[in-house]
Structure formats: C-alpha cells, structure tokens
Amino acid sequence: MDIGTTSKEKCQKVWLATGPRQNNGVFYEIRTYDVKPAKMKEFLETINKYLHIRTAHSELVGFWYSELGAMNKVFHIWKYDNFAHRSAVRHALANDKEWQGKLISVILPLIEKQHNEVAYLVPWCQLGKPPKEGGVYEWVTFQMKPGGPALWGEAFRASINAHINTGYTRLIGVFHTEYGFLNTVHVLWWNESPDHRAAGRHSAHEDARVVAAVRDSVRFLESQQNVLLIPLRCSPLK
C-alpha cells in the first residue's frame, strides 16, 4: 500500500538542528503504566472499550502493551499542539464525568506505577506510519551523553538511516525528551513479525555500512534497552 512519502525520505529533507525541537510547538506525551499482573486483562478490556471517551479530547498516536523486554507494561503516546493545548485538555478531562466514571476511576486501581515524559520529534524526522495493519512494534530507548542533537544528532541519524536502508524495518518516529529522563532518545520501529525482525537484524549486523554507522554513534551512547510492543485494538497505529 502506498502511504506517500516514506520515513526515510522525510528524514532526508530536514537538516540537522542545534537543539532538540522541530520548528513548531508540537510535542508528544509518552505515558508508561505498570499494570498489576492479575489485572492486565481487565485493564486492556477497559481501555479497548472506553478509550474513545479520552480520544475525544486530544489525538492518540498509539497504545501498546509489552510482550518482550518488559512485563505488564502499557505504552501510549499523545500529541499536543503546545503546552497550553495540553492544559486545556487536562482541564476538560477534569470536568468530563463520563471519562471519570467509565474509564479513569476503573483503571487507576489496576495500575501499580505511572510515568510520563514530554518529547519532541528530532528535527530530521516526522512521524511515520506502518505500510499495513498488523505486525509488531519495537520501542528502543537510548540514554545519550548530554549535549542533545547538536552533539550526537549526525551520527545517530546515520545509524538510523543505515538500518532503514536495509529494508527489513519501518521507522515510525524518533523522539528526544524534554521532560522526564533527560538526554533520552526513543525510537519506534514497525516490523512484520518478531521473526522477520530477528532475521532482518541478523542480516543488518553483517552489513558493513550498518556496522560502521553503529560504531560511530555508540561514542555518544550511555545505555540502551528495547521492548517488543503489541498494539491494542483501539490504537491508531496498528
């Protein structure tokens, strides 16, 4: 299916900036919840049934639960035009009786811990989409050395593009944190299946161009981790 400009092409259109933001106020709130193990099924059923109440107030990018790399976690990403927009949405939610009664009051007792971050897309990338529904997502978190894209952006971009060029995976977005764990970059990938990803990565790690790009970018890396994610039925990104 043709979805227009690819993520690779979008990334190539914008030059490296000196800061973490794009040229507008749009940001993404990344929320991570640890759900009580015995309550995961109830949590997911409630979200799938009633999340439309929440999405009536602002745009949801995606909602996933962890399959590998973490247990009993859910990830969801919300898009806001600016901080005033988010404040207005939070105010509206505080006065939305349906949201309070059917959704938030039900799921809060099912959650053990909540964490949120505010992040911007890096200046050289726009939010992408998978080529089709189905498949799995990989959420990779890189803890970078302080300095922002002005320091590590060029090398990191080269590493990302080297993986894109192998063709086995689709880039969805690269996010750099503004609030939360600072100097953190989250990369969201889409793959047809876990096995397709595994085969693609095995091939990529034998590609001299990928190896060279990764070796250059790790100079700025402190640590990294990843999680395999499954989208919920209610998730716009499926």
Report the distance separating Cα 211 and Cα 20, nearest Å: 26
Rounded to whole angstroms, how far apart are CA atoms 7 and 18? 21
Distance CA 158, CA 70 (A): 28
Tracing tokens 């898009």 back to the chain, one arrives at 79
Q: Are 52 and 234 in contact (CB under 8 A)?
A: yes
pLDDT in tens, the chain (238 residues): 333 444 444 444 433 344 545 567 999 999 999 999 999 999 999 999 999 999 999 999 999 999 999 999 999 999 999 999 999 999 999 999 999 999 999 999 999 999 999 999 998 899 999 999 999 999 999 999 998 888 899 999 999 999 999 999 999 999 999 999 999 999 999 999 999 999 999 998 899 999 999 999 999 999 999 999 999 999 999 9
Q: Is residue 2 part of a domain?
A: no
- Total domains in the fold of the chain: 2
Between CA 85 and CA 82 the distance in angstroms is 5
SS (H, E, C) 63-119: EEEEEECCCCEEEEEEEECCHHHHHHHHHHHHCCHHHHHHHHHHHHHHEEEEEEEEE
Q: Can you say how many angstroms the Cα of residue 220 is from the centroid of all Cα atoms in its chain?
A: 21
Predicted model pTM = 0.88
Whether 64 and 130 map to the same domain: the answer is no
pLDDT for the residue 5: 44
Helix (H, G, I), strand (E, B) or coil at 30: strand
pLDDT of residue 123: 87
pLDDT reported for residue 24 = 75
Cβ atoms 160, 11 nearer than 8 A? yes
* CA dist., res. 213 & res. 168, Å (int): 17
Per DSSP, the three-state class of 220 is helix
Between CA 19 and CA 22 the distance in angstroms is: 8
Domain assignment of residue 192, given as a range: 7-18+121-231
> Are residue 134 and residue 226 in the same domain, yes or no?
yes
Last residue of a domain, one of 119, 147, 176: 119
Residue after which a domain boundary falls, among 82, 101, 119 = 119
Same domain? 96 vs 185 = no
Domain containing 169 — which CATH number?
3.30.70.100
**pLDDT of the residue at 149:** 85
In the structure encoding, which two tokens stand for residue 26, read together? 């749009």
- Please indicate, yes or no, whether residues 59 and 139 belong to a single structural domain of this protein: no
pLDDT value for 19:
52
Residue 70 contacts by C-beta under 8 Å, 6 or more apart in sequence?
A: 227
